[in-house]
Amino acid sequence: MKVSCERDKLLAAFQLAAAVAPARSPKPILQNVKLDVTNDGAMLTATDLEVGMRVTVPGITADATGSALLQVARFGQILRETTDPTIKIETDGRGTVVRGERSEFRLPAENPDEFPTVAQFSEGGHLEVPARLLRELIRRTVFATDNESSRYALGGVLLEFKDGELTAVGTDGRRLAVMKGPATAAGNYKPTDTMTIVPTRAMQLIERSITDGDAEVQIAARANDILVRTPRATIYSRLVEGRFPKWRDVFPKREGTQKIALVVGQAYSAVRQAAIVTSEESRGVDFTFADGKAVLAGRGAETGQSRIELPIAYDGPAITIALDPRYVSDFFRVLDGEKTFTLELKDGESAAVCTTDDGYSYVVMPLARDR
């Protein structure tokens, strides 16, 4: 193989693929990214055997086609440190040579034929989802998952498709994030009988592979794995095993609930201020809604007290609920500060529900008031 590459384009593609490669592995070959150059173009491949990615590389001119294994650590550092706009990569029987205008590196290389194969997207039946929507679905749900829990199914995002709508759900048992949006079934797509729970890490990689200019993303969910194709990459992942909680049951009944309209930026600022005096021992903030204002109060035996007032349009009965400010802040971080949302409350013992006008819902369980 002998190729000439535009450094910045190769670096962007390599960093995306390298995020899949494990930092440590009993199989050292997985700590490489495979470069395949054919007459049809160039492709980078990486995998940890659970998740895999294929990334298209623009800006490569081939004098001779072929394959090479590129060490994630060493080759990635070369791409970051060199200032040459163009680099040349050549393989021979002894290793891989990387050349710039005034630099040359010779790296040892393993046999590229021994690198595991990563599945290609060849599914006739699949979902087509607007790229911008899918990125928001991931951003607004993936943070609520729990990779530390013994309840293994919580370590991923549940995807459901029904009646032209794709629903993404993430939960750790203490809060729940749900977002819905339109999707289209293409080809002979048929929903599987099993739950499609995509690992958190795979969802993060899918989000990273979507760019602002992408129009749509294709998703093919199968019984045990999933394939997602964006304009520049294909991501493969095994699914999380286990049963996902009955998430619809988490939403409290709406009879007797009070609805309060709030602005994200203003509410986020108030929560951050109230949380200044909280600690691990007294992590909760009391939210009281009454008489046209919200009062947020935090306190700690050794950290002090806080009291923050926020004017609101509310004249219903007084309601006080204790919430973990960390979970409330997570909701605000994935929304624009100017956006308005609706907070639904029933009492201090029922879950608080936050909803937006673009299909997003977030449920937070209350803390005990006598904490």
- Are 277 and 240 in a shared domain? no
Q: Is residue 100 part of a domain?
A: yes
What pTM was estimated for this model as a whole? Answer: 0.92
315 to each of 255, 303, 322, 341, how far by Cα in Å? 18, 33, 20, 18
If DSSP codes are grouped into helix, strand and coil, which group holds residue 271?
A: helix
In a domain, 172, yes or no: yes
- 3-class DSSP state of 154: helix
CB 127 within 8 A of CB 189: yes
DSSP 117: P
174 and 139 within one domain: yes
In a shared domain, residues 215 and 161: yes
CATH number at residue 163: 3.10.150.10
Domain shared by 257 and 216, yes or no? no
130 and 84 inside one domain: no
Do the domain assignments include residue 371?
Answer: no
Q: What is the domain range of residue 358?
A: 252-364
Answer whether residue 67 is part of any domain. Answer: yes
Does one domain contain both 206 and 294?
no
119, part of any domain = no
Domain boundary among 86, 114, 142: 114
**Are residue 318 and residue 215 in the same domain, yes or no?**
no
Would 210 be classed as within a structural domain? yes
Q: Which of 132, 155, 130, 151 is nearest to 143 (CA)?
A: 155
Kind and range of the H or E run holding 131 = helix 131-139
Residue 183 domain flag: yes
> CA angle, 145 as apex, 143 and 148 as ends, to 5°?
120
**Pair (133, 243) in one structural domain:** yes
Instruction: Give me the tens of pLDDT residue by residue for the chain, a chain 371 residues long.
Output: 999 999 999 999 999 999 999 988 889 999 999 999 999 999 999 999 999 999 999 999 999 999 999 999 999 999 999 999 999 999 987 889 999 998 999 998 889 999 999 999 987 889 999 999 999 999 999 999 997 776 668 999 999 999 899 999 999 999 999 999 999 999 888 877 789 999 999 999 999 999 988 899 999 998 899 999 999 999 999 999 989 999 999 998 878 899 999 999 999 999 999 999 998 777 899 999 999 999 999 988 788 999 999 999 999 999 999 999 999 999 999 999 999 999 999 999 999 999 999 999 999 999 986 54
98 and 164 inside one domain: no
Helix H segments across 226-361?
264-274, 325-333
Same domain (yes/no): 238, 148: yes
Q: How far apart are CA 139 and CA 362, in angstroms?
A: 13
Last residue in a domain, options 52, 80, 114: 114
What is the DSSP pairing of strand 41-47 with strand 60-64? unpaired
Of the three residues 93, 114, 135, the one that is the final residue of a domain is 114
* Whether residue 76 sits in one domain with residue 103: yes
Residue 370 lies in a domain: no
Whether residue 60 is found in the same domain as residue 95: yes
Q: Tell me how far the alpha carbon of residue 146 is from its chain's centroid.
A: 13
Total tally of structural domains belonging to the chain: 3
Residues making up the chain, counted from first to last: 371
DSSP-assigned letter for residue 275: G
